[in-house]
Amino acid sequence: MDCDLRARRFSANGITLADFAPLIDGVVPEHAAPEVVEDSITWPLGAGRAVLKIVRGPVLRLHLNLQGWPRDRAIDSLGLRFRSVSGVQRYLRNGYQSWDGSFFVAPGTPAGNGPPGKAPTLGFAVTALVPAAGRGGIVLGFTRHDRFQSRLRFGGNRAAMTLDIETLRDRVPHDGSIEAEPIVLIPAATVEEGLCSWSAMVATESPLPPCPAIRRITGWCSWYNLYAAIDEPVILEHLAAAAAFRDKYRVPLDVFQIDDGFTPEMGDWLEVKPQFPRGMKPLLAEIAAAGFVPGLWIAPFMVGNRSRLYREHPDWVVKDRRTGGPLAQMAFYGEFRWHKRSEEYYILDATHPDALDYIRCVFRTWAQDWGCRYFKTDFMLFGSEHGPDTAVWHEAGLSRIAIWRRMAGLIREEIGDATWLGCGCPLWASVGYLNAVRIGRDIGVSWRGEHSAESLLRDLVTRSHGAGILWQADPDCILLRDRFHELSDMQVRSLALYGGLAGGVLMTSDKLNELSEERAKLLARLLSLDIRECRFPNSERLSPVIMQRVTFADGRDITNQFNVSDQPVTLDDGSTLAPYASQQSSATPFDPL
Instruction: Please state which of the ranges 87-96, 106-115, 199-208, 244-253 shows the lowest mean pLDDT.
Output: 106-115
Query: What mean pLDDT value characterizes the chain?
Result: 96
pLDDT at 10 over 80: yes
pLDDT at 505 over 70: yes
When pLDDT is cut at 50, 70 and 90, the band that residue 590 belongs to is low
Helix (H) or strand (E) holding 287: helix 280-289
Q: pLDDT per residue over 355-399, tens digit each?
A: 999 999 999 999 999 999 999 999 999 989 999 999 999 999 999
pLDDT at 591 over 80: no
When pLDDT is cut at 50, 70 and 90, the band that residue 229 belongs to is very high
Q: pLDDT per residue over 536-587, tens digit each?
A: 998 888 889 999 999 999 999 999 999 999 999 999 889 999 999 999 998 7
Please report the pLDDT score of residue 299 as a whole number. 98
Q: Please provide the DSSP assignment of 148-214 as one string.
A: -EEEEEEEE-SSSEEEEEEEE-TT---SSEEEPPPEEEEEESSHHHHHHHHHHHHHHH-SS-----S
- 302 against 451, higher pLDDT: 302
Please report the pLDDT score of residue 593 as a whole number. 66
pLDDT at 589 over 70: no
- Using left for φ > 0, alpha for ψ between -120 and 50, and beta otherwise, residue 250 falls in left
Please report the pLDDT score of residue 130 as a whole number. 96
At position 344, the amino acid (one-letter code) is E
Please report the pLDDT score of residue 592 as a whole number. 61
Residue ranges and CATH numbers for the domains of the chain are 2-205 (2.60.40), 218-297+349-534 (3.20.20.70)
Q: What is the mean pLDDT of residues 63-71?
A: 97
Q: pLDDT per residue over 305-319, tens digit each?
A: 999 999 999 999 999
CA nearest to 201, candidates 60, 90, 77: 60
Helix (H) or strand (E) holding 462: helix 453-463
Please report the pLDDT score of residue 308 as a whole number. 98
Q: What is the mean pLDDT of residues 32-60?
A: 96
What is the C-alpha separation between 509 and 226, in angstroms, rounded? 8
155-161: long-range pairs with CB below 8 Å, 24+: 155/121, 156/85, 156/107, 156/108, 157/107, 157/108, 158/106, 158/107, 158/108, 159/108, 160/84, 160/85, 160/86, 161/85, 161/86, 161/88, 161/91, 161/107, 161/108
Whole-number percent of the chain with pLDDT over 70: 99
What is the C-alpha separation between 581 and 495, in angstroms, rounded? 9
Q: pLDDT per residue over 140-198, tens digit each?
A: 999 999 999 999 999 999 888 999 999 999 999 999 999 999 999 999 999 999 999 99
In eight-state DSSP terms, residue 394 is S
Q: What is the mean pLDDT of residues 341-361?
A: 97
Q: pLDDT per residue over 402-447, tens digit each?
A: 999 999 999 999 999 999 999 999 999 999 999 999 999 999 899 9
Q: How many other C-beta atoms can be found within 10 angstroms of the C-beta atom of residue 274? A: 7
Please report the pLDDT score of residue 134 as a whole number. 84
